[in-house]
Structure 1
Amino acid sequence: MRWPGRGVGRGLGRGGAAPAVDAAFLLDLCAGALAAGSALPRTLAVVGRHLGGPDGAALVRAGSTLGLGGSWAAAWADAPPAAAAVGAALATGWEAGASPGPQLRAAADRVRRDRRARVRTAAGSLAVRLTLPLGLCFLPAFALLGLVPVVLGLASGLGW
């Protein structure tokens, strides 16, 4: 049963466009459906239909193409980045006949690890870029509130 207005890809992002889908989330969705025993073309079609948006349409198209016996390249042509990540994770398994579940989970872990590395790099860069402005703000305050009274106190004690 589907409820109107509910679902992952139903909301609109900026400018009325569908929001970008997290590639790791999409990989986990497909891995979960495959772990439940669904065939790969059926998994792609069902996840894509419930996801909606351009990524969902690409998954539906890929599942339908593969289900009808189309080539792997034709199934994933012009796929958005998150859907293309699913296709890249499944490519070797489809051609070699390997189980796709571990490949999808490994790809999702890799996406998350890369994202964490980018966030750590950005945080380190931000700390370096904030040092000079914060120093320029706090140094005058420290001088006026900390050093000037001490110097004036010492100067008055010396009889100046």
Structure 2
Amino acid sequence: MNAALSVLVLAGAVLLWVPPGVGRRDRLRSLLAAPGEGGRSWPTRRATGPPGTARRRVEAGLGGLAAFLVLGAGLPAALVGLGLAAGLDRLLRQSGAPPSEADSLARDLPVACDLLAVCLAAGTPVGAAVAAVGESVPGPLGDRLVEVGALYRLGAAPSRAWAGAPPPVDALARTVVRAGESGSAVVPALQRLAGDLRSAGRSRTEAAVQRAGVWVLAPLGLCFLPAFLCLGVVPMVLGIAGAVFG
């Protein structure tokens, strides 16, 4: 009976869950759609906020209830169910949140550095190269690079054109401005910067995977902790108490 009810609860959770690949499928459809107007336009990212609070809590509660029923509906099962519900609520809240502007800049910046290095190696002026890369990179990074290229065309100094660049674009700004002031070769510096940014991105990804592993093992620890206390700690405490007070 408990197993059948658990299956029904899990089926309800699956029906309520919106897979994170929906946004990617919408983006793919927009890329494959036949252009109806002249000119090039980049697909815009849909503003998808985190799932509704009530719906997220219902999904997390269903998962915790399923674990509670599968484990026998006892006190340890209740603890595991509560822990699993809290973990699912946190996971759904994080997975449904749209990426911040800083995350978008960090994701697109290595590609922009490579493109800018290629343009400069081909002999393109800095302002025209920055503007061309800005038109080729979607998102907030492309908009900022287009603004910088426009300032170059207006005759602004490199330090003025790159002023106010937010992290991590400020690393690109320092590289280009330093090369322009010192007369050093900017292409190798841009290639090194792209490699450093990719290494930093891999480090952040590995750290996120390790944190996810801790969250995955948390319900298992909550499941085994009561058994360890009942079978290992409690008999030892009772034996010591019997020897002392007996």
Which bracket does the TM-score occupy, shorter chain normalised?
Answer: 0.5 to 0.7
**Structure 1 stretches lacking a partner, 5+ long:** 140-160
Normalised by the length of structure 1, the TM-score is 0.66
Query: What pairs with 1:75-86 in structure 2 (closer than 5 Å)?
Result: 75-79=161-165, 81=167, 83-86=169-172
Residues in 2 aligned to 1:128 and 1:15: alpha-carbon distance in whole angstroms: 30
For residue 145 of structure 2, the aligned residue among 33, 43, 59 is 59
Aligned partner (choices 83, 92, 106) of residue 192 of structure 2:
106
- My pick for the range that moved more, 63-72 or 125-134, is 63-72
**Per-residue deviation, residues 96-139 of structure 1 (Å, max 9, x unmatched):** 111111111111111110111111122222222322313445x5
Whole-angstrom CA distance in 2 between matches of 1:132 and 1:12: 38
Q: For 1:13, give the aligned amino acid.
A: R
Aligned residue type for 1:98? S
Aligned AA (1:108): A
Match of 1:14 in 2: 46
4 and 88 in structure 1: CA distance in 2 versus 1, 3 angstrom threshold:
farther
Contact 1:58-1:80 within 8 A present in 2 as well: no
Indicate the percent of aligned positions where both proteins have the same amino acid. 33
Aligned to 2:123, which of 27, 34, 37? Answer: 37
Question: Cα distance 1:13–1:84, how it changes in 2: closer, same or farther (>3 A)?
Answer: farther
Local SS of the residue matching 1:14: coil
CA–CA separation in structure 2 for the residues paired with 1:60 and 1:77? 14
3-state SS, counterpart of residue 130 of structure 1: helix
Code of the residue aligned with 1:11 in structure 2: it is: P
CA, structure 1 residues 24+99, in 2 after alignment: closer, same or farther (shift >3 Å)?
A: same
Q: Does the CA-based 8 Å contact 2:162-2:173 persist in structure 1?
A: yes
Q: Secondary structure at the match of 2:47?
A: helix
Task: Describe how 1:89-128 pairs up with structure 2 within 5 A.
Answer: 89-128=175-214
Distance 1:53 1:122 in 2: 24
Deviations 1:7-39 (A, max 9, x none): 6xx1111329xx835111111111111122212
Does residue 87 (structure 1) correspond to residue 173 (structure 2)? The answer is yes
TM-score by length of 2: 0.46
Looking at both structures, which has the greater relative contact order when contacts are Cα pairs under 8 Å and sequence separation is at least 6? 1
Q: In structure 2, give the amino acid aligned to 1:23.
A: L
SS in 2 for 1:77: coil
Counting matched residue pairs gives 137
